[in-house]
Structure 1
Amino acid sequence: MSFTPFRCLTLPLIAAVGLAASPFVAAEEPLKFGIISTESSQNQAPLWDPFLADLSEALDREVEPFFATDYAAVIQAMRFDQIDLAWYGNKSAMEAVDRAGGEIFAQTVAANGDPGYWSLMITQRDSELSSVEDVLANASELVFGNGDPNSTSGFLVPGYYVFAQNGVDPATAFKRTLNSSHETNALSVANGQVDVATFNTESMERLEEVHPDKAEQLKVIWQSPLIPSDPLVWRENLSDELKGELRDFFYAYGESEAEQAILEPLQWSGFAPSTNDQLLPIRQLELFKQRAQVADDASLSADEREARLAELDARLDELNARLEAAEAEQAAAAQAS
């Protein structure tokens, strides 16, 4: 595979990583593929190279990866048409759909057959902390590694289940709070730089492969409910022709042994069709979190609190109706097939 300099973009915090996913120079503009920063771009690039090369060959055009140091830069890149499609987590996909003209068209299928993944809270193996209750009771003495603010498993899910449900603000409860990638959080805990941090099961599997000695230094003290598999999002304003080509590629990819070998390092076995309805449970979770914060906000008057709660409840009722309709539609489609 040949390597060419990555085109400079005028967005903050971009890690310039140069590689071309195809040996030829296509007449069309390169397809730009955004990749969220679950770990360093130096580690991610070799995992993605073979897959992007296959995508390039299938589309008969160059495919350029876009790596950045945080999730927000990938969202902003889609907003300003600097990328054409991206792999996001559910929380960042929600931001891309709502603010960057994105649309979900597929979701990943886990190699181990799991229907999704789980958020974790981790500490050092020999830590006296053994539960969320221990963490919250000693928060003022602990350094906490929180996830990227646009991360589903690193921020949104623990933000609701661990903190909002317990009436705790992690930004003020701890001695110090740092926001980092999954990899950085895990390594910081293993190295004793952070006392407790968010993580997830997919990243734990990855850590056990690349840094088994560090993985052995970790202890899981909390696991979340199931999180839906990660979505693939394209710009809604892509041409129908290109969308069709992308559907054909993603929905069929993984059928051969060679493709399975390429997907294995990414911890996937293929891709399934999906839509923006995948985000409905995530939207519920975001609203539940906001509702808990409003209910506990002592700075609000009784009337202000009641009005805001009524507004959030109305939005939750609307989401519940949409979710029920989507589930009924899926059940009907499954029965028909």
Structure 2
Amino acid sequence: MHRRNFVLGTAAVLSLSPVAAFAQAKDPVKLRVALLPDENASTLIQQAQPLKDYLEKTLGKQIELVVTTDYSSMIEAMRFGRIEIAYFGPFSYVLAKSRAPGIEPFAVGVEKGSPTYQSILIASADGPVKSIEDIRGKPFGFGDQASTSSHLAPRAHLLKKYKLEGNKDYKVVHLGTHDAVARAVQAGQIPAGALSEQIYRALIARKTIDETKLIKLDLSEPIPNYPITMQGDLAPALKEKIRAAFLDVKDPAVLKSFRVEAFAPTDDKAYDILRETAKILNLDLGKMS
């Protein structure tokens, strides 16, 4: 069942019909900016306050930060014009683009000089999984079904490099968010799992998880980083201001919201590799939600 309710700040948004949303979307007084729901919603909102302040000052608009209940509801919100700007995961962007062809990716996060990142595969330090081969026959934890680094990339990595096929050689278990995967593995509720290495390091830095209770099994191949997208039917001048606001941002506090050091230009073709990965896993983009 699709969950369409928003966690924070969206009661008024949900009252809008798709037609009404698109009708006022050209140059709205308020811009709704959706953050990827890959961690606890209140944590994300709190961390993104510098972003809100920066965008309000730079764009001269009211900014509402939105966190949806899951990736599917974020995709649907973008599809029906209930948000103007969205920070998608790479694969959730591909899914969103398949449903809302008019959305435009325009900026991508750069970390350590590269517009790519990796997924980390981890296991409980005192659990039964000490190597990738030990995953065979056991549950393996992923995040949201539409997550790149907590589902698509590590699942493809297990298949391509180790010939381990989900729900055949091991049991696929979806836990929702990246931090939920890390916590479940640390607690021994599931022997192994995968999440974004960036988020994994952030969770350790915040002492949300204890690195000594976990072991690193492997890293995935590099993944195109998270894109910033906007509705294609916004006024051209506004679109240019939004694009410049992200590409020109230098404030470390703002960039910290995205776990990146800068933003670089991007376009839809940069994510074709994820469409190919979905084919390898026999995932039907039209049926995923």
Q: The TM-score by the shorter chain falls in which range?
A: 0.7 to 0.9
What is residue 269 of structure 2 aligned with on the other side? Answer: 277
Distance in 2, matches of 1:268 and 1:205, equals 13
What is residue 107 of structure 2 aligned with on the other side? Answer: 106
| Displacement of 1:172 | 5.5
Question: How many residues are paired up?
Answer: 266
What is residue 88 of structure 2 aligned with on the other side? Answer: 88
Q: Which has the higher helix share?
A: 1
| Displacement of 1:166 | 5.5
Tell me which amino acid in the other structure corresponds to 1:75: I
Q: Is structure 2 residue 136 aligned with structure 1 residue 144?
A: no
Identity, in percent, stands at: 25
What is residue 237 of structure 1 aligned with on the other side? Answer: 233
Distance in 1, matches of 2:28 and 2:241, equals 14
Tell me which amino acid in the other structure corresponds to 1:15: V
| Displacement of 1:232 | 0.7
| Displacement of 1:200 | 1.9
Q: Is structure 2 residue 284 aligned with structure 1 residue 288?
A: no
| Displacement of 1:165 | 6.2
Q: Give CA deviations for 1:71-104 in whole Å, capped at 9, x if unaligned.
A: 1111100001000110011101111212123211
The root-mean-square deviation of aligned C-alpha atoms, in Å, is 2.4
Could you tell me whether the CA contact under 8 Å between 2:105 and 2:266 is conserved in 1? Answer: yes
Could you tell me whether the CA contact under 8 Å between 1:122 and 1:218 is conserved in 2? Answer: yes
Give secondary structure in 2 for the equivalent of 1:15: strand
Unaligned runs of 5+ in 2: 11-26, 285-289
Q: Whose RCO is larger (CA < 8 A, sep 6+)?
A: 2
Distance in 2, matches of 1:37 and 1:166, equals 30
| Displacement of 1:179 | 3.1
| Displacement of 1:45 | 0.9
Structure exhibiting the larger radius of gyration computed from Cα positions = 1
Q: Give CA deviations for 1:121-177 in whole Å, capped at 9, x if unaligned.
A: 1111223412221111xx2xx332122111111111122121366665424654672
Could you tell me whether the CA contact under 8 Å between 1:250 and 1:271 is conserved in 2? Answer: yes
- Indicate which of 159, 169, 188 corresponds to 1:192: 188
Q: TM-score, normalised by structure 2?
A: 0.84
Could you tell me whether the CA contact under 8 Å between 2:157 and 2:221 is conserved in 1? Answer: no
What is residue 253 of structure 1 aligned with on the other side? Answer: 249
In the TM superposition, 1:170-181 aligns within 5 A as 170-171=166-167, 173-174=169-170, 177-181=173-177
What is residue 63 of structure 1 aligned with on the other side? Answer: 63
What is residue 204 of structure 2 aligned with on the other side? Answer: 208
Could you tell me whether the CA contact under 8 Å between 2:108 and 2:115 is conserved in 1? Answer: no
What is residue 334 of structure 1 aligned with on the other side? Answer: none
Could you tell me whether the CA contact under 8 Å between 1:164 and 1:289 is conserved in 2? Answer: no
What is residue 39 of structure 2 aligned with on the other side? Answer: 39
What is residue 213 of structure 2 aligned with on the other side? Answer: 217
Could you tell me whether the CA contact under 8 Å between 1:122 and 1:221 is conserved in 2? Answer: yes
